[in-house]
């Protein structure tokens, strides 16, 4: 059962929501609220996107947060980054407190994340690149447990303008030519035309980037299957809002954030599909 279907069932159990649904179905205009296929939506302003209204139920709220924090494509981000993702699709009162409580008590986060503090000294920003994928940073996360495929290094490539990252599994035994080949193959898939590249000094945040923390939470006890989850770590990193550009790297580079299963389930158009089509989309 999707979040929207669960919410729809709970509307009838809450007296005020039951009245709200009835009033909207009768054609009454209530500020900020609308209804579509018996599902309530909340709209902050005239030009904002309607968000699915979640009733006051702890289980359902935690389920929504879990799908955007604990899932394979989420990667256990901090409470504010999780909040920024969820608030685009869902609404309930006092959302921020719920996210703080959930993330600060997440066992996986407590075990696998180091405390983040600002480095000493005066930080100087590099010049802003003139275009996407013209000025990039590259670094390596080394000394990882060797996987069954022989990988023990992650090569991290970051576009300095959009902050979009690419994670590539490599080996310490790879020579310069092999590393260059992996790099060129990756960049050729990203860029649609030939353009000059400038390798800038790698930002310090790459060393503490999502893949390292993310992989700790999903690998098996032997830690020899992290390369199977590297593509999900990349998605999780690129879907999060970046503090510098105030949007996600996907949005900055592609102009949109790719849909994930939880996005599809909260879309008003989803509920107009046949049941078999809904089940197919949720399996993707």
Where are the chain's structural domains? 3-112, 135-282
Percent of the chain with pLDDT over 90: 16
What is the rounded average pLDDT of the residues 28-35? 90
Report field, pTM of the whole predicted structure over 0.85? no
- The per-residue pLDDT for range 154-206, each reduced to its tens digit, is 999 998 889 899 999 999 999 888 888 888 888 877 765 445 555 554 544 45
- pLDDT of the residue at 280: 55
Local confidence band at 115 (pLDDT 50, 70, 90 cut-offs): low
The answer to whether the beta carbons of residues 273 and 281 sit under 8 Å apart is yes
The answer to whether the beta carbons of residues 169 and 153 sit under 8 Å apart is yes
- The per-residue pLDDT for range 231-262, each reduced to its tens digit, is 888 888 888 888 788 888 888 888 888 877 66
Q: Is the pLDDT of residue 212 over 70?
A: no
- The per-residue pLDDT for range 136-150, each reduced to its tens digit, is 888 888 888 999 999
Local confidence band at 61 (pLDDT 50, 70, 90 cut-offs): very high
- The per-residue pLDDT for range 82-109, each reduced to its tens digit, is 898 898 889 998 899 999 999 888 888 8
- pLDDT of the residue at 267: 62
Q: Which residue has the higher pLDDT, 278 or 64?
A: 64
Q: What mean pLDDT is reported for the chain? A: 80
The burial of 57, by beta-carbon neighbours within 10 Å (0-12 exposed, 13-18 middle, 19 or more buried), is given as middle
3-112 CATH pick, 3.30.1370.60, 3.90.1170.50, 2.130.10.10, 1.10.340.70: 1.10.340.70
Q: Is the pLDDT of residue 15 over 90?
A: no
- pLDDT of the residue at 204: 45
- pLDDT of the residue at 266: 60
CATH fold of 135-282 reads: Nucleotidyltransferase; domain 5 (3.30.420)
């Amino acid at each position: 059962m999707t979040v929207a279907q669960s919410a729809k069932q709970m509307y009838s159990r809450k007296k005020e929501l039951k009245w709200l649904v009835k009033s909207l179905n009768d054609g009454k205009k209530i500020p900020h609220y609308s209804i579509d296929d018996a599902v309530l939506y909340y709209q902050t302003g005239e030009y904002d996107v309607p968000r699915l209204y979640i009733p006051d139920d702890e289980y359902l709220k935690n389920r929504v947060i879990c799908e955007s924090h604990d899932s394979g494509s989420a990667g256990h981000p901090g409470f504010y980054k999780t909040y920024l993702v969820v608030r685009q699709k869902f609404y309930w009162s006092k959302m921020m407190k719920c996210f703080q409580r959930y993330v600060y008590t997440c066992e996986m986060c407590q075990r696998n994340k180091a405390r983040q503090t600002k480095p000493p000294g005066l930080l100087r920003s590099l010049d802003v690149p003139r275009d996407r994928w013209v000025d990039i940073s590259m670094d390596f996360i080394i000394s990882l447990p060797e996987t069954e495929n022989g990988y023990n290094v992650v090569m991290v490539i970051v576009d300095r303008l959009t902050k979009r990252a690419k994670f590539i599994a490599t080996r310490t035994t790879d020579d310069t030519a092999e590393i260059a080949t992996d790099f060129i193959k990756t960049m050729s898939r990203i860029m649609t035309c030939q353009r000059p590249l400038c390798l800038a000094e790698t930002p310090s945040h790459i060393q503490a980037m999502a893949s390292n923390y993310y992989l700790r939470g999903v690998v098996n006890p032997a830690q020899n299957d992290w390369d199977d989850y590297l593509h999900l770590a990349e998605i999780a990193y690129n879907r999060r809002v970046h503090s510098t550009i105030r949007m996600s790297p996907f949005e900055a580079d592609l102009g949109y954030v790719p849909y994930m299963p939880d996005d599809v389930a909260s879309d008003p158009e989803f509920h107009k599909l046949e049941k078999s089509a809904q089940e197919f989309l949720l399996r993707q």
